[in-house]
Amino acid sequence: MHNINTSKSINVAILTISDTRNKEDDRSGQTIHSLLQSENHTIVEYQIVKDELHIIQDVVQTWTENKEIQAIILNGGTGFSPRDVTYEAVSQLLDKQMDGFGELFRMLSYEEIGPKALFSRAVAGSKQSTAIYALPGSTNAVKLAMEKLILPTMPHFAEELVKK
């Protein structure tokens, strides 16, 4: 069993995917921001971009090349509407996918919202030495993923990605 270090501070970038939100009304992005700060993680970047595959990929690619950023948390664009392309954008970039993340997130969501949890295409994994998480845009979904899945494991994930 791994000894998980949950006390290590991580440098994180937050990307909100929305055609309508701005920094003043981005409740999900603000929730991620405040939950990270409450655990003494550092927010290195925070942006809001349109739900466009190439824009999302460009930002994520640039951030994975920035050695200061250890983790990227995206929110929004993970559903099934024609505009929702975050899952495709992120999945195409990942070197390794954390299969259990989406499964466990949907299970936990099911306990809260029932079968509508099936409509979430949350995904996580890594690209080079960067942990990447893509969450739904719902503030409740973000809070659930952050508190139950990401905050308890992110320091360990970041450590694993730089092991020799």
Q: Any idea what the CATH number is for the domain that residue 96 is in?
A: 3.40.980.10
Q: Is residue 101 assigned to a domain? A: yes
Q: Is residue 121 assigned to a domain? A: yes
For range 50-55, the mean pLDDT: 97
According to DSSP, the residues that pair with 45 across neighbouring strands are 13
**Mean pLDDT of the chain, nearest integer:** 94
Domain count, the chain: 1
The two tokens of residue 112 are 């809260």
- What pLDDT sits at residue 7? 61
Q: Percentage of the chain surpassing pLDDT 90? A: 94
Domain membership of residue 47 as a residue range: 11-161
- What pLDDT sits at residue 112? 95
For range 98-119, the mean pLDDT: 96
Res. 5: pLDDT tops 70: no
| Distance (Å, whole) CA 13 – CA 64 | 10
Residue 117: band (very low, low, confident or very high) from pLDDT cuts 50, 70, 90:
very high
| Distance (Å, whole) CA 18 – CA 49 | 6
Res. 18: pLDDT tops 60: yes
**Closest Cα to residue 84, out of 61, 129, 53, 59?**
53
Q: Is residue 123 assigned to a domain? A: yes
For range 17-24, the mean pLDDT: 94
- What pLDDT sits at residue 164? 80
- What pLDDT sits at residue 122? 97
Condensed to tens digits (0 to 9), the pLDDT of residues 122-164 reads 999 999 999 999 999 999 999 999 999 999 999 999 999 999 8
123, 91 contact by CB (below 8 A): yes
Q: Is residue 6 assigned to a domain? A: no
Condensed to tens digits (0 to 9), the pLDDT of residues 67-80 reads 999 999 999 999 99
Q: Is residue 92 assigned to a domain? A: yes
Q: Is residue 5 assigned to a domain? A: no
- What pLDDT sits at residue 82? 93
Q: Is residue 4 assigned to a domain? A: no
- For 56-100, the DSSP string reads HHHHHHHHHH-TT--EEEEES--SSSTT--HHHHHHHH-SEE-HH
Q: Is residue 1 assigned to a domain? A: no
Q: Is 130 exposed, middle or buried (0-12, 13-18, 19+ CB in 10 A)?
A: buried
